[in-house]
């Protein structure tokens, strides 16, 4: 069924779900803090994904060189993202976060015009970062760290999605992330266990885990299998506009005129870069050499069942 849905549409649906989940997660911060919200989100999402995809321990043993760093990157990305959104508006954090995909776009670019679009987006990121650097430098640094982790997530996620079958790799990576996040959450400050196990908190955390982790990561995981990392990175740079709109509607987070202009720079650059690269970008699903060794029996992905 997923083959009938275009990969860009799946990516867009995942981005919308993720930002609504992130907006709801901010409602948990007063009771659990960003570290507690992150830990609950990862634990619930890992449980749901493992129940659905049923990965086997053999998967981790066979692909630990990919899955361990993949899970570590997921943990860092979630911890730093919630720390940043607890300090800055959702739209600003997501825009700063996309320094990672922009870096991938710049490294993979072979056209001078693509560099121009990356520079335009970079200008928007500098404006946003500069407008908050003095007020909350920790929030800005946390958002930029999320961008670094996002770069690793895109690159490692592309490799994991091609080396494993179904969503078993994602489920295993999320389980690793929940384990890695546990000590990090203690360092950043966890509330009492009673606060984390409160029924109201768990209900919101469950919704957040579904909206911001299980659904979007599953859709992105499939999309990564069907498009090159650079195309994924450029398309995903549209997410700041979605985050700004969701933050405005759900949280009432309004941006100033310069901040709106900065977000517009990023979005225009993303659309223009994607428009220019679509015709010349090979489709990995049409090239048998790019199917992660599917034609070689000794390198077959491990079946989750």
Over residues 129-151, the pLDDT tens digits come to 766 666 788 998 999 899 999 88
Torsion of CA 200, 26, 211, 6, to 10 degrees: 170
| pLDDT for residue 300 | 34
DSSP letter assigned to residue 302: B
Judged against a pLDDT cut of 50, whether residue 160 lies above it is answered with yes
* pTM of the shown model: 0.76
| pLDDT for residue 47 | 94
| pLDDT for residue 205 | 92
pLDDT digits (tens, 9 = 90+) for 31-53: 899 999 999 999 999 999 999 88
Asked whether 247 and 55 are in contact (CB, 8 A), the reply is: no
pLDDT digits (tens, 9 = 90+) for 218-233: 888 788 777 776 677 6
Separation between Cα atoms, residue 138 and residue 96, nearest integer Å:
13
Report which of residues 206 and 256 the model is more confident about.
206
| pLDDT for residue 302 | 34
| pLDDT for residue 281 | 44
Residue of 226, 235, 236 lying closest to 282 (CA atoms): 226
């Amino acid at each position: 069924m997923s083959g009938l849905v275009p990969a860009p549409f799946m990516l867009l649906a995942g981005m919308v779900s993720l930002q609504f989940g992130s907006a709801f997660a901010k409602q948990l911060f007063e009771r659990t803090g960003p570290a507690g919200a992150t830990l609950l989100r990862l634990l619930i999402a890992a449980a749901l994904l493992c129940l659905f995809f049923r990965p086997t321990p053999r998967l981790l043993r066979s692909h630990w060189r990919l899955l361990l760093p993949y899970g570590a990157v997921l943990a860092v990305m979630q911890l730093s993202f919630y720390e940043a959104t607890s300090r800055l508006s959702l739209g600003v954090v997501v825009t700063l976060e996309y320094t990672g995909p922009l870096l991938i776009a710049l490294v993979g670019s072979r056209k001078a015009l693509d560099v121009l679009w990356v520079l335009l987006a970079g200008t928007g990121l500098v404006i946003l970062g500069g407008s908050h650097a003095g007020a909350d430098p920790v929030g800005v640094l946390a958002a930029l760290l999320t961008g670094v982790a996002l770069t690793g997530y895109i690159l490692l996620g592309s490799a994991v999605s091609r080396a494993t079958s179904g969503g078993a790799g994602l489920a295993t990576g999320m389980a690793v992330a929940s384990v890695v996040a546990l000590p990090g959450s203690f360092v950043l400050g966890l509330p009492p266990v009673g606060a984390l196990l409160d029924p109201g908190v768990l209900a919101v955390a469950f919704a957040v885990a579904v909206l911001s982790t299980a659904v979007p990561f599953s859709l992105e995981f499939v999309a990564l299998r069907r498009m090159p990392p650079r195309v994924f990175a450029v398309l995903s740079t549209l997410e700041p506009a979605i985050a700004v709109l969701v933050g405005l509607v759900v949280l009432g987070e309004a941006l100033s005129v310069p901040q709106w202009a900065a977000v517009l720079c990023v979005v225009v650059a993303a659309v223009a870069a994607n428009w220019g690269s679509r015709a010349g970008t090979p489709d990995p699903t049409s090239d048998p050499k790019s199917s992660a060794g599917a034609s070689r029996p000794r390198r077959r992905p491990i079946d989750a069942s």
